[in-house]
Amino acid sequence: MAAASAVHARRRRRLVLPLLLLLLPVVRARVTALIVFGDSTVDAGNNNAVPTAVRSNFPPYGRDFPGGRATGRFSNGRVATDFYSEALGLGRGFVPAYLDPDYGIQDFAIGVCFASAGSGLDVATSRVFQVIPLWKQVEMFREYKARLAAHLGAAEAHAVVAGAVYAVSIGTNDFIENYFALTTTRLLEFTVPEYTEYLVGLARAFLAELYGLGARRIGFTGLAAMGCLPLERARARALARGGCDEAYNAAARGFNAALAAMVADLGAELPGADIRVAEVYDFFEGVVREPARHGFVRADVGCCGTGTYEMGYPCGAWAAAPGGTCPDADRYVFWDAVHPTERASRLVAEHLVNSTFGRFDN
Ligand SMILES: *[C@@H]1O[C@H](CO)[C@@H](O)[C@H](O)[C@H]1NC(C)=O
Domain boundaries, the chain: 29-357
Contact 279 CB / ligand 1 (< 6 Å): no
User: Pick the catalytic residue: 64, 75, 174, 339?
Assistant: 339
CA of 53 to the centre of ligand 1 (A): 37
CA of 167 to the centre of ligand 1 (A): 19
- For the question of residue 339 being annotated catalytic, the response is yes
Give the pLDDT confidence score for residue 18 in this predicted structure.
52
* Atom 5 of ligand 1, residue of closest alpha carbon: 354
User: Pick the catalytic residue: 169, 336, 345, 351?
Assistant: 336
CA of 349 to the centre of ligand 1 (A): 10
Distance of alpha carbon 193 from alpha carbon 38, whole angstroms: 22
Contact 350 CB / ligand 1 (< 6 Å): yes
Contact 351 CB / ligand 1 (< 6 Å): yes
Contact 197 CB / ligand 1 (< 6 Å): no
DSSP-based three-state secondary structure for 37: strand
Give the pLDDT confidence score for residue 264 in this predicted structure.
98
User: Pick the catalytic residue: 39, 40, 43, 100?
Assistant: 40
Q: Are strands 165-169 and 34-38 parallel, antiparallel or unpaired?
A: parallel
CA of 86 to the centre of ligand 1 (A): 15
Along the 362 residues of the chain, how does pLDDT read in single tens digits?
A: 455 555 555 555 555 555 555 555 444 568 999 999 999 999 999 999 999 999 999 999 999 999 999 999 999 999 999 999 999 999 999 999 999 999 999 999 999 999 999 999 999 999 999 999 999 999 999 999 999 999 999 999 999 999 999 999 999 999 999 999 999 999 999 999 999 999 999 999 999 999 999 999 999 999 999 999 999 999 887 776 668 999 999 999 999 999 999 999 999 999 999 999 999 999 999 999 999 999 999 999 999 999 999 999 999 999 989 999 999 999 999 999 999 999 999 999 999 999 999 999 74
- For the question of residue 336 being annotated catalytic, the response is yes
Per-residue H/E/C for 159-206: HHHHHCEEEEECCHHHHHHHHCCCCCCHHHHCCHHHHHHHHHHHHHHH
Question: Cα separations (Å) of 95 from 30, 33, 115, 175, 341?
Answer: 18, 10, 11, 27, 17
For the CA of 355, the closest atom of ligand 1 is 14
Amino acid at 260: A
Contact 347 CB / ligand 1 (< 6 Å): yes
The DSSP-derived string for 265-307 is: HHHHHSTT-EEEEE--HHHHHHHHH-GGGGT-SBSSS-SBTTS
* Atom 1 of ligand 1, residue of closest alpha carbon: 354
Domain 29-357 annotated CATH 3.50.30.60? no
CA of 57 to the centre of ligand 1 (A): 32
Q: Are 167 and 84 in contact (CB under 8 A)?
A: yes
- For the question of residue 174 being annotated catalytic, the response is no
Amino acid at 14: R
Give the gyration radius of the chain's Cα atoms.
22
Distance of alpha carbon 235 from alpha carbon 128, whole angstroms: 20
pTM of the shown model: 0.92
CA of 232 to the centre of ligand 1 (A): 30
Give the pLDDT confidence score for residue 1 in this predicted structure.
45
